Structure 1
Amino acid sequence: MKMKYIFIGLLWLYASTVSAVELSRHVAAQVMQAQKQAEQQHLEQAIETLRAVTAAKPQDQAYVALLLANYYWQNEQSKQAIVQARYAVTSNQLKDELGWSAKRMLADLLANDHQYQEAVTYYRQLADNAPAKKDVSQLWLRIGQIHYLLSQWQQALDAISQYQHFQLPDAVTPLSIQLGAQIQLTRYKAAIPTIKRLLALEPEQRNWWLQLVNMELKTKQFRSALASLELARLKGVKLSEQNLKLLASLYAQNGIPERAARVMAELAGQSSPTLEELTQTAYYWQQAKEWDEATETWQLAAQHDKKYYRNVARLQLQQGNYQESLDALALLQGHAQAADIALLRTQALYKLNQFEQALSQAKKADRIQPSSEAKSWIKYLTQLHEYRKNRES
């Protein structure tokens, strides 16, 4: 499962935050000037104003660096923003909520720059030491996202578990992370409830339905897989040719061969069916005891490969169409399994009261490949011939 997460740019620092920090008078004046420039969208000027600040106090330097990080970020200069934010954080001059916000900015900047391992370290510190009213759930979600991107599946699941402790309404992003990690860890049974929660949010999402069916197949819940695929189709989810073949297979596997055949016939109506598709459809019709449809489909298969005239002949013989059976067998001249074909001829000729020809075919079958069936026919037809001969005399 491929997932992309876009980390949102942060614009926390406004003029009101200046009052939270005791700045030197001349530094405070330059900071206010820079903030006015930024408010007027003159970011380059704001950056130059702050770069020109000569701050002696470490706290002043840290605060100016934090503002610079913010303006660099707004100006799409992420590398410079990270440098300034890192200085603001590692100086340890910014305390309490402002220090926490500075670390949050650095974590987000690092995440946006794909420096995930360092970012997740900061996110965990933030989650463990969050001031009151901070949205810690979103921090755990961010941690889960990063572990997922780093292919650290168990850590991703653990982070999402922490997120779920906040008992928020279900949302696609955390559930998607949970599902992806569960699949990667082959926890297929656990993945099924997760997918169902995703389907409650996005019932028309084809991917969730297919994931559900896949998980049910992996856990050998074949009837559930059939029900899920049926329901997806009922809800208008477009199924691919491969999905429809799977649906047909599940119908057959669950003892509903007629529906399996109808799905395959529907597929055949959309494009020219392959030989494999025709033979599969014919088998389904045969399992459903729909003899006419089975015979017709075997005849279509036989147009691709003559060996399937044997299947046609068997069904016609079974249905009492003996001459048609012989006609189909005539198309198998010189084909493999000659002994089997001769035995089928024996049965058809016997039913047509052509006993001598039937006996000839039985002997031919036994000559090609001796068998108890051929010998039984030879014995029976020889006795019948003797009986008829005695009656005539």
Structure 2
Amino acid sequence: MKKLAFIIAFLFAPVVLSAQLSQYTAGKVQQAQKLQLEDKVSAAIVLLREMDISRAYDQAFVNRMLGVYYWQDGKPALSIQRLTQSIESGLLDDEYLRSTQRMLADILLSQAQYQKALHYYYPLSQSIPATEKADELWLRIAQANYQLEEWRSVLSAIQQYERVHQQKEVQPLSLKLGAQLQLQQYQSALPTLSSLITLEPQKVVWWRQLAGIEMRLERRKQAIETLALAKRQGVALSQQDLKTLGQLYAQEGMPEKAARIFASLDNSDSLLDLLISRATYWQMAKEWDKAIETWRKAVQLDTQYRWQLSTLLLQEGHYQLALNELDKLQIKGKQAEIELAKVCAYYKLENLELAIVHAKKADNLESTKASQSWIKYLNQLRDMES
């Protein structure tokens, strides 16, 4: 924004001397222009500033030139001051007046004086000559309103911009998207994001925002398609993006895909939360061996997950392995349940004596219908065998 194209084009355009200028001023202006063309802008400024000007029109014209030269010399505050004085004189011809107003507006925009810039932009937008690019003017208006967080005015300006500029481009679309998101116009933001993805298919933020809006609109399947397509196309999705994709797979009844996504994450075998999610998804997918393997890894990081491993081993008929894990378990408030799990394992291993021992232990810790039923049933079996 510091070297706006409009201003630069104006800087190097030859000054057309007005017939209204006095001979003295016209001569000085020509000298100043020659110095400027020789890259002696500071000297041109000194020459114009030291002029003895008595005519109001001459002063307005010279102020306009000084505004240009101060900008080129890196002194925007002085540039704004001189251009403002030139405009407010009310003496500039219409052609000079419009170009000066536009130049001042662009400089004000570049200096973050957005409200003041709009003070000039909006009147200029009322009647745009064919020689001027209307799309550039409306884009500037959108930029200023964006900085002022005037979101509806941003959309209005972009709408005007799109009427005269049919080709899709990133900058106006970005402004439009920002305003739509701020106004929570999520449905309208979807085609905007699709256009941005078409223009910048490797920019991860567009894919992420599209998936986020789809989730907000409870379109989880579309969110999955968005993130999965981004992954296939080699977009640099973050670890959080991939976790979101995995969670979406699980929510939509595809736990195996969820587990595979979590297995592909960085440090998937060393971060406890990732291991727990993965093991849970493998269980949901009824991939018992993979779930057991993953729970084992989780136990190595935190022994409290030995219970999940034990019960799954028991479920899958690995009774001795289950007992090995259950013997290591010490969970406050869960000892009775642990003893009942041992009862089941010993029963399956046809060791009635130890099954009865642990059933009684469970009943002593917490007498329940389950513990009483086991004791009665196991005693009956033992009596039958004897």
TM-score range, shorter chain: over 0.9
What pairs with 1:154-233 in structure 2 (closer than 5 Å)? 154-233=152-231
Aligned to 1:25: 23
Q: Normalising to structure 2: TM-score of the pair?
A: 0.93
Given that residues 202 and 236 in structure 2 are in contact (C-alpha distance below 8 angstroms), is that contact kept between their aligned partners in structure 1?
Answer: no
Aligned to 2:375: 378
Given that residues 78 and 109 in structure 1 are in contact (C-alpha distance below 8 angstroms), is that contact kept between their aligned partners in structure 2?
Answer: yes
Q: Which of 19-28 and 78-87 deviates more?
A: 19-28
Deviations 1:218-255 (A, max 9, x none): 22221111111111111111222222222221221122
Aligned to 2:115: 117
Q: Does 1:273 align with 2:270?
A: yes
Given that residues 275 and 298 in structure 2 are in contact (C-alpha distance below 8 angstroms), is that contact kept between their aligned partners in structure 1?
Answer: yes
SS of match in other structure, 2:264: helix
Deviations 1:285-313 (A, max 9, x none): 11111111111111111122223222122
Aligned to 2:255: 257
How far 1:36 sits from its partner (Å)? 1.3
Task: Work out the number of aligned pairs and report it.
Answer: 384
Residues in 1 aligned to 2:67 and 2:19: alpha-carbon distance in whole angstroms: 17
Given that residues 141 and 159 in structure 1 are in contact (C-alpha distance below 8 angstroms), is that contact kept between their aligned partners in structure 2?
Answer: yes
Aligned to 1:61: 59
Q: Which runs of 5+ in 2 are unaligned?
A: none
Provide runs of 4+ in structure 1 moved above 4 Å: 13-17, 333-336
Match of 1:8 among 4, 8, 13: 4
How far 1:85 sits from its partner (Å)? 0.2
Residues in 2 aligned to 1:76 and 1:142: alpha-carbon distance in whole angstroms: 21
Aligned to 2:342: 345
Residues in 1 aligned to 2:13 and 2:323: alpha-carbon distance in whole angstroms: 97
Q: Does 1:314 align with 2:311?
A: yes
Q: Normalising to structure 1: TM-score of the pair?
A: 0.91
Given that residues 13 and 70 in structure 1 are in contact (C-alpha distance below 8 angstroms), is that contact kept between their aligned partners in structure 2?
Answer: yes
Q: Does 1:323 align with 2:320?
A: yes
Aligned to 2:354: 357
Given that residues 15 and 32 in structure 1 are in contact (C-alpha distance below 8 angstroms), is that contact kept between their aligned partners in structure 2?
Answer: no
Given that residues 269 and 297 in structure 2 are in contact (C-alpha distance below 8 angstroms), is that contact kept between their aligned partners in structure 1?
Answer: no
Residues in 1 aligned to 2:21 and 2:265: alpha-carbon distance in whole angstroms: 75
Q: Which of 109-118 and 357-366 deviates more?
A: 357-366
Residues in 2 aligned to 1:21 and 1:91: alpha-carbon distance in whole angstroms: 18
CA RMSD of aligned residues (A): 2.1
Match of 1:292 among 266, 289, 293: 289
Residues in 2 aligned to 1:160 and 1:371: alpha-carbon distance in whole angstroms: 71
Given that residues 151 and 183 in structure 2 are in contact (C-alpha distance below 8 angstroms), is that contact kept between their aligned partners in structure 1?
Answer: yes
How far 1:129 sits from its partner (Å)? 2.8
Residues 374, 189 of structure 1: CA spacing in aligned structure 2 closer, same or farther, 3 A cutoff? farther
Residues in 2 aligned to 1:276 and 1:16: alpha-carbon distance in whole angstroms: 69
How far 1:139 sits from its partner (Å)? 1.2
Give the partner amino acid of 1:289: K
Residues 334, 22 of structure 1: CA spacing in aligned structure 2 closer, same or farther, 3 A cutoff? closer
